[in-house]
Copies of this chain bind each other. A is one copy, B any other.
Amino acid sequence: MADAKNKKYVYFFGGQKSEGKAEMKSLLGGKGANLAEMVNIGLPVPAGFTITTEVCTYYYNNGKKYPKVLKEQVKKAIANIEKVMGAKFGDSVNPLLLSVRSGARASMPGMMDTILNLGLNDVTVAGLIKKTNNPRFVYDSYRRFVQMYGDVVLGLKPKDKHEHDPFEVIMDRKKEEKGITLDTDLTADDLKDLVAEFKVAIKEKTGHDFPESPEEQLWGSVGSVFGSWMNERAIVYRKLNNIPASWGTAVNVQSMVFGNMGEDSGTGVAFTRDPANGENIFYGEYLFNAQGEDVVAGTRTPLPISELEKQSPVIYKQLDKFRKTLEKHYKDMLDIEFTIQQGKLWMLQCRVGKRTGFAAIKMAVDMVKEKLIDKETAILRIDPNQLNQLLRPVFDAKEKNKAIAEGRLMAKGLNAGPGAASGRIALSAIDAEKMAAKGDKVILVRVETSPEDIKGMNASEGILTARGGMTSHAALVARQMGKVCVAGCGKLVIDYAKGTVSVEGKDIKLKEGDYLSIDGSTGEVIAGSINTKPSEVIQVLIEKTLDPKDSDVYQTYDSLMNWADKFRKLGLRTNADQPDQAENAIAFGAQGIGLCRTEHMFFGEDKIRSMRKMILSDTVEERKAALAELLPLQREDFKGIFKAMKGYPVTIRTLDPPLHEFLPHAKKEIQEVADALKVSAKKIEEKIASLHEFNPMLGFRGCRLGILFPEITEMQARAIFEAAVEAIKEGYKVKPEIMIPLIADVSEFILQEEIVRRVAKEVMAEHKTKFPYLVGTMIELPRAAITADDIATRAEFFSFGTNDLTQTAFGLSRDDAGKFLPLYVEKELLPADPFETLDQRGVGELIKIAVEKGRKTNPSLKVGICGEHGGDPASVEFCHKVGMDYVSCSPFRVPIARLAAARVVVSEKKSKKK
């Protein structure tokens, strides 16, 4: 990027009007854009300016240098602040103090650097003391500034927990000298001494003096904020949240206001609605005589916002008015920060508030009812995966009551992230990761969490902290991750050294690795393991133990699903092999079965025996005899499914897995099977050996079985059609769709299709019935996708088996990828694990080719997906875009897929409007 002389890099805000506005988030970052907007809608904001994200990009593209014109623009902006705030930067009489904060396009709480009280030096300190007449406050600010500057800008902050912060060491020594324990007991003189000692420490550690020049302080701080864009935890956070590094951060320089100027000062954070359960109440916390960091860091436990109404009704009324103004203006729930300086209320930040999935859904539905937003907006506002939180288990009430009766209730904290979680205690993020990697369910228990812990939090089922409020780091991050969280459980005593967790006044003592249960909806912390039970939605829909009228949660879910169904164009099916699964899926909104795997049916005691007989057959006759035993059993299975599906289409896949999967492998088991089937163990062993394959995924399976042993396909077709006849006779409608797996060439399909159609004809003739049926195929091999035009001349439907298609397109066995695929995702070689979310660039392209080619030779071709991607929101959107008719996923993913299918329609509509 070349230097542009006239380019605007600095945007002023404050007074009556800002140069920026809310829509300029890409350029000004979220914080800067919203500060500007708040000024524009008349809210009191301390004046300041935003250095744009383009400077950040420039900075990294040009060897960490700034555009030449930046300095001049900053100078002008500072002059502007001085005018609005009536103070002067570096002045010995009326000094202006500044904060320097990061502000990226997307919120990255606590990931980057912040410098407060900038502009203090030995000269301005004097002016400020005169002005405030509060030397203790001034020296406390100075002490904090020097420490912060030393830690952050000059890099004295220890890199790991085993080192000590040099400033903390000095402070501790000072307190010891004085025989005090609290920072607040330090006097103005003590603090003045500390400032001097801090400066000596800085000189010692860095070889340079602490910079007295406010200008130098400012540029040091700006550089530090830009630098923090590339610190390790910011990089990790971006990866977890899919934020591109190229976005860069803006830097906000703003005049300081102080909540710690005495008892008529204070600071707080609030949400315009409850971020945990979504209720429409003013929700927040504040502290008098404190700075913002005191609230967020969780070092002091703040008061709920409702207390403010009592303590300071005027301020509360003003704040509540701002809350309403903001919600009306932004049409969303907001997260705000405010400071009261000597009785005057200042707004320091506003942004769309993070919330649990649960709250997101409730708010979206409520706001539609409040006519604040329309249904389309509501749908776009919910990440389909958040629906999981509505479906998330709660504790089994009996077990929980029993645990409480047994005295296992340890304490109650804040209900910071809803849901119920039970698992083994980990006392550090690293241990949590390790335990989770071994397959344990983990509850991470910490005094408080910090940005360094996010990987470990991500690996845990739930998070429990002893300190910090609803807006503490733990609470914020847990909600965003959709984790169960109980925060600020003050009675908890956590001893990292001994590896124990106990409770004041109780004799429960747990060790790392012990079971612990937390209820993020109530805040309860209970020793031991408790089984969880289904959510209210599940209780209404699946268990039918709860009346829908009695469940607000269900009502919210139901409204949302109804809206989604109005918008979505994709059909929804489910993957189910059993009648009960099919029924669940219907309750969740499925309109058919997209994949019924017949092989799962063969694992029942009676069936596996006949199946093994069939595999061990030496002749066609023997094989046919074994198949004849299987026929009535399969028929019963299919009949049950047809009845459960009440006339919805049912796609049944013919036998797919390699035959060796049905044989026993352990010596003892082999002998048992041999005895049961009255053959020698040697015969079974020989068969197993003969079925051994180097690469079974690419071996004798799928339609290849039915081509070598047409009698298998014949039996399965007969079972399906006879089941259909029986179901029809009992008054049901049926729509069987027979699906041939692992087709590479249309010639294979034809051979199998001919058998299916012949048997259909025979069965219909034998029973003098007629019913519709389809014969189609899975598209799960690249060659099938490429020759889809051939295959579609015969197949009536395609169903994409994206698991196998991903494996073959990538040449990657899912079972064997564990050695390198995690590294690939970590190194961003691939944007995501292609088995979790469909690889649109490669596998998706094959799907597009197949859909286009298939529809070319068969315009009425029905197209769907039945791989596990069918329940992944991004993949569902893709399926809509390539013009599929339906997606099929596991029953519990059906609501998620419904919402995803609606969202893509709404987004398309919105982007067309633009």
- Seen from chain A, the residues whose Cβ lies within 8 Å of a Cβ on chain B are 693-700, 702, 704, 707-708, 742, 744-745, 747-748, 751, 780-783, 786-787, 790, 804, 807-813, 815-817, 819-820, 823-824, 827-830, 839, 841-843, 845-846
Contacts and interface: CB of A to CB of B under 8 A. Distances in A.
B819 A781 contact: no
B830 A786 contact: no
Contacts of A708: 819-820, 823
A811 B780 contact: yes
* 9 closest A-B pairs by CB: A698-B813, A782-B782, A783-B842, A699-B816, A695-B813, A747-B829, A781-B811, A693-B816, A783-B809
A661 to B, nearest CB: 12
| Listed residue (A787, A811, A841) with the most chain B CB atoms within 10 angstroms of its CB | A811
A707 B830 CA distance: 13
Contacts of A843: 783
Contacts of A841: 745, 787, 790
B829 A751 contact: yes
A68 to B, nearest CB: 33
Contact of A842 (B699, B745, B813, B829): B745
Contacts of A695: 695-698, 813, 815-816
Contact of A813 (B694, B812, B820): B694
A781 B810 contact: yes
B707 A811 contact: no
Contacts of A815: 693-695
Q: How many copies does the complex hold?
A: 2
A812 B807 CA distance: 12
Contacts of A820: 700, 704, 707-708
26 contacts: A693-B813, A694-B697, A694-B815, A694-B816, A695-B697, A697-B811, A699-B813, A702-B811, A708-B819, A708-B820, A742-B811, A744-B810, A744-B842, A747-B828, A748-B829, A781-B811, A782-B782, A782-B809, A783-B811, A783-B842, A783-B843, A786-B842, A786-B846, A787-B841, A804-B811, A808-B811
Given A744-B811, A808-B809, A809-B808, A707 B786 contact: no
Contacts of A830: 745, 747
A812 B698 contact: yes
A790 B786 CA distance: 20
A353 to B, nearest CB: 36
Nearest to A839: B783
Contact of A812 (B744, B804, B811, B827): B744
A811 B698 contact: yes
A695 B827 CA distance: 24
Contacts of A809: 744, 781-783, 786, 808
Nearest to A781: B811
A694 B702 CA distance: 18
A695 B812 CA distance: 9
A789 to B, nearest CB: 10
A726 B51 CA distance: 56
A498 to B, nearest CB: 33
A702 B694 CA distance: 18
A77 B820 CA distance: 78
Nearest to A842: B783
A505 B574 CA distance: 82
Contacts of A808: 782, 808-809, 811
Nearest to A751: B829
A159 to B, nearest CB: 23
A830 B698 CA distance: 17
A819 B810 CA distance: 25
Contacts of A790: 841
A707 B813 CA distance: 17
Nearest to A830: B745
Given A747-B828, A823-B708, A816 B696 contact: yes
Nearest to A780: B811
A698 to B, nearest CB: 4
Max chain B CB contacts within 10 Å: which of A780, A782, A790, A808?
A782
The CB with the most chain B CB atoms within 10 A, among A747, A790, A804, is that of A747
A782 B744 contact: no
A815 B786 CA distance: 24
A881 B747 CA distance: 26
Contact of A807 (B698, B700, B804, B842): B698
